């Protein structure tokens, strides 16, 4: 069973209907992350901003600058083998937390490409996690 929050439903539907393109995210690549709840084991799907890397993708646990990490972050820690939808393709990936140096390099690039992420960083006192999703 796949649970999707109401606010993400329209983004997911538009993503799938348009080969991964979402009008309101025209300048920000997205992927759909399929993951399992850390406690419940329930499959969930979240649209996430991503940055393509040589062997996968980086995603950002920004939660819009909220003081806490998003639930999907903890789900990836508990269950790192997941799938992502990118465009019309479904790809098996494994989540990992990068080294501080790798994280900082990727985070700075994401802020350069999408300045909204610098705003999220200013809104919170936590260090926003970056997660690498490596193709299997």
Mean pLDDT along residues 127-134: 98
29: phi then psi, degrees, rounded to nearest 5: -60, 140
Does pLDDT of 4 surpass 70?
no
Mean pLDDT along residues 10-36: 95
Based on the structure, what is the number of domains in the chain?
1
CATH number of residue 11's parent domain = 2.30.110.10
- pTM attached to this predicted model: 0.93
d(CA 107, CA 117): 9
Range of the domain at 17: 2-135
d(CA 64, CA 116): 9
- Binned at pLDDT 50, 70 and 90, residue 122 comes out as very high
CA neighbor of 8 nearest in space, from 62, 34, 38, 45: 45
Beta bridge partners of 58: 51, 132
Mean pLDDT along residues 84-97: 97
Write the CA distances from 43 to 2, 4, 52, 83, integer angstroms.
5, 9, 24, 11
Does pLDDT of 113 surpass 50?
yes
Does pLDDT of 3 surpass 50?
no
By the 8 A CB rule, do 61 and 70 touch? yes
Does pLDDT of 2 surpass 50?
no
> In the prediction, which pLDDT does 5 show?
59
27-66 pLDDT, tens per residue?
999 999 999 999 999 999 999 999 999 999 999 999 999 9
């Amino acid at each position: 069973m796949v649970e999707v929050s109401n606010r993400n439903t329209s983004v997911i539907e538009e993503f799938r209907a348009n080969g991964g393109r979402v009008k309101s995210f025209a300048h920000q690549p997205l992927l759909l992350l399929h993951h399992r709840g850390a406690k419940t084991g329930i499959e969930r799907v979240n649209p996430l901003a991503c940055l393509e890397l040589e062997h996968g993708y980086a995603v950002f646990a920004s939660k819009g600058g909220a003081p806490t990490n998003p639930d999907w972050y903890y789900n990836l820690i508990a269950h790192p083998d997941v799938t992502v939808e990118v465009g019309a393709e479904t790809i098996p990936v494994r989540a990992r937390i990068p080294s501080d140096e790798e994280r900082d390099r990727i985070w700075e690039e994401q802020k350069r490409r999408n300045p909204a992420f610098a705003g999220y960083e200013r809104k919170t006192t936590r260090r926003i996690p970056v997660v690498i999703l490596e193709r299997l």
